[in-house]
Amino acid sequence: MSDYLSVSSLTKYLKLKFDRDPYLERVYLTGQVSNFRRRPNHQYFSLKDEKAVIQATMWSGIYKKLGFELEEGMKINVIGRVQLYEPSGSYSIIIEKAEPDGIGALAIQFEQLKKKLAEAGYFDDRHKQPLPQFVKKIGVVTSPSGAVIRDIITTVSRRFSGVEILLFPTKVQGEGAAQEVAANIAAANQRDDLDLLIVGRGGGSIEDLWAFNEEIVVQAIFESRLPVISSVGHETDTTLADYVADRRAATPTAAAELATPVTKADIVAWIAEQQNRAYQAVLRHIQQKEERINKLSNSVIFRQPERLYDGYVQKLDKLTTSLVHSMRQQYADSLQQQRLLSQRLLAVDLLGRVDRYVERLATQKRLLLSNMTSQYDSKLARFEKAQDALLSLDTSRIVARGYAMVQKNDKVVASTKDIEKGDKVSVLMRDGRLEVEVKDVKQENI
C-alpha cells in the first residue's frame, strides 16, 4: 500500500515541478482571447488555438497598464508564468505582459479610443467652429525649439505682417506631454485677446505623436472656445487631435495659411471692391428716391391739393345735417311726452287722495295710542299686585314685625317634626340671632 500516492500528494508534487521548472517560469504564448467578460478588478479568460486551450489570469494592475481593451476573439502575444492550482488540479498562465499580435498596442488603442469618441459625437461637423476671416492675434501651442513655430512665424509674416503670434511653450512628446498640451489649450482660452489657436508639432513615429491621441487633449480641443487648427506630424500622419479640431492642416505652413486666408494685397483689393459696391449701392438708392420724388411732385394730389379733403368736407356736411335733424326730433318727442304726463297727473287727483290718506293715518294713530295706554295700565296693576305678594313672603319683613324664625343647618324649620331633642338650632330675631340647644320637643295638633 505504501506505493500508492494520495491525490493531494501528487498534485503538490506537480505544483513543485511547475514552480521550479525554469522553462515554465517565463513563458511566451500566442493565442486567441476566449470567454472574455470584463470584470471590475482582475480579469479571467482563456487563450486558445486550433487544438488546445489554457486558462489565463491577468491581475488588475497589469490590465490597467495595457493601453488597449481586450476583446473577444482578439489574437494577442503574452508573457507570463505557468502555475498549477492544487484544489482543482488545473493549470493556468498568469499574464505579466500582453500586446496585440501583428499590430501594435498603440494602434489598437488608437482605434478603440477613436471609436469611443466618434460615438460620443466629438468629431461631428455640427461642433466645428468657422475660422475667422481676419485675425489680429494667433495663439500657438507647440515646442519653442521646433521647426513648427518658425514655419508659422515665417508664413504669417509673409502673408500678413500685422498679425501677432503668441507662443505657449509646450512639451509635445514623452511623459506628461498630453497634460501640458491640454493645460496650455485651456490657458489660451482664458485670454480675451486671441482670435485663433494652432496646436501642433513636427513628424515622428506613432509613439512620438501619441500625446495628441490622448483623451485629455481631445477633450481640451473639443471644449475650446477659440477655433482650433491642428497641425500634427506630416501630411500622412493622422491623430485624434486632427479629427476633433475645427480644421486640420497637413503642415505648419498650411496651418498658418488657414489662419491668415488673405494677404494684405487681397485685403486692399477687397476694400476697394467693397468701396465701389457701396458707392454704386448709394448711387442707385439716390436715383430711386429722385425718381419717386419726381413722380410724386407730378401727381394730381400736389397739383390740386384741395382734392385731398373734398370728400371729408362732404361727409362733414352730411353728418352735421343728420345731427341737427336728430336733435330736433328728440326735442319734439320729449315735449310730447311731457304733455301726456301732465294730462295723466291732472286726471289722477293726487292731492285729494293724499288728504284722505293723511286723515286715515291720524285716526289709526289715535286708536293705537288709546290701545297702548289701556294695555300699559293693565300690565302695571298686575305688576304691583305681584310685587305685594312677593314682599309678603319676605322673611326679613316677617321678623321685623316681631316674629322669630327657626333655622337648622341654615334651612328654615317649618314643623316640630323636623327637630329632635339635642339639635342645635338658630333663632333669627329682629335684632339678632340666638344659638340654642333643644331640650325637649312637644308636638300639638293645630
State residue 399's pLDDT score: 63
219, 250: one domain: yes
According to DSSP, the residues that pair with 415 across neighbouring strands are none
Contact indicator for 141, 184 with CB cutoff of 8 Å: yes
- The C-alpha atoms of residue 415 and residue 419 are separated, in whole angstroms, by 8
Nearest to 254 by CA among 232, 282, 226: 232
251, 189: one domain: yes
Which CATH number do you get for residue 187?
A: 3.40.50.261
- The C-alpha atoms of residue 53 and residue 49 are separated, in whole angstroms, by 7
- The C-alpha atoms of residue 283 and residue 277 are separated, in whole angstroms, by 10
62, 131: one domain: no
Contact indicator for 235, 250 with CB cutoff of 8 Å: yes
- The C-alpha atoms of residue 64 and residue 39 are separated, in whole angstroms, by 12
| 140-174 confidence digits (pLDDT tens) | 999 998 888 999 999 888 888 888 999 999 999 88
432, 303: one domain: no
Percent of the chain exceeding pLDDT 90 equals: 16
SS3 for 182-214 is: HHHHHHHHCCCCCCEEEEEECCCCCCCCHHHHC
Residues 6+ apart with CB under 8 A from 68: 100, 105, 108, 109, 112
Decide if 359 is inside a domain.
no
Decide if 137 is inside a domain.
yes
Which of 314, 341, 376 lies at the terminal end of a domain, its last residue? 314
- The C-alpha atoms of residue 247 and residue 197 are separated, in whole angstroms, by 11
Phi/psi of residue 85, each to 5°?
-95, 110
What is the rounded average pLDDT of the residues 322-337?
Answer: 85
Residue 401 confidence (pLDDT) above 70:
no
State residue 303's pLDDT score: 64
| Domain hosting residue 404, numbered range | 398-437
98, 133: one domain: no
Scanning the structure block, which residue is given the C-alpha cell 466645428? 128
Phi/psi of residue 413, each to 5°?
-90, 120
Which of 251, 281, 314 lies at the terminal end of a domain, its last residue? 314
Contact indicator for 142, 211 with CB cutoff of 8 Å: no
How confident is residue 341, by pLDDT bands cut at 50, 70 and 90? confident
Residue type, 291: E
131, 251: one domain: yes
292, 212: one domain: no
pTM: 0.47
What is the rounded average pLDDT of the residues 340-349?
Answer: 72
- The C-alpha atoms of residue 205 and residue 11 are separated, in whole angstroms, by 50
- The C-alpha atoms of residue 48 and residue 267 are separated, in whole angstroms, by 67
State residue 246's pLDDT score: 93
- The C-alpha atoms of residue 5 and residue 361 are separated, in whole angstroms, by 144
Decide if 345 is inside a domain.
no
According to DSSP, the residues that pair with 46 across neighbouring strands are 34, 55
Which of 56, 74, 102 lies at the terminal end of a domain, its last residue? 102
Decide if 181 is inside a domain.
yes
Contact indicator for 160, 191 with CB cutoff of 8 Å: no
257, 273: one domain: no
179, 284: one domain: no
Residues 6+ apart with CB under 8 A from 106: 67, 206, 207, 210, 213
Decide if 367 is inside a domain.
no
Task: Specify the 3-state DSSP secondary structure of 370.
Answer: helix
How confident is residue 199, by pLDDT bands cut at 50, 70 and 90? very high
Decide if 411 is inside a domain.
yes
> Which DSSP string do the residues of 319-350 spell out, in sequence order?
HHHHHHHHHHHHHHHHHHHHHHHHHHHHHHTH
17, 66: one domain: yes
| 237-247 confidence digits (pLDDT tens) | 788 899 999 99
Count of the separate structural domains present in the chain: 4
Measured in whole angstroms, the distance separating CA 438 from the mean position of its chain's CA atoms is 100
More confident position, 290 or 265: 290
> Which DSSP string do the residues of 251-320 spell out, in sequence order?
SHHHHHHHHS-S-HHHHHHHHHHHHHHHHHHHHHHHHHHHHHHHHHHTSHHHHSGGGGTHHHHHHHHHHH
183, 223: one domain: yes
Q: What is the DSSP letter of 65?
A: T
Contact indicator for 34, 50 with CB cutoff of 8 Å: no
At CA 408, angle to CA 404 and CA 414, rounded to 5?
A: 60
Cα-trace Rg, the chain? 62
What totals of helices (H) and strands (E) does the chain contain, helices first? 14, 14
Decide if 361 is inside a domain.
no
According to DSSP, the residues that pair with 76 across neighbouring strands are 31, 100
Decide if 334 is inside a domain.
no
State residue 198's pLDDT score: 94
Which CATH number do you get for residue 57?
A: 2.40.50.140
193, 139: one domain: yes
More confident position, 302 or 270: 270
More confident position, 24 or 148: 148
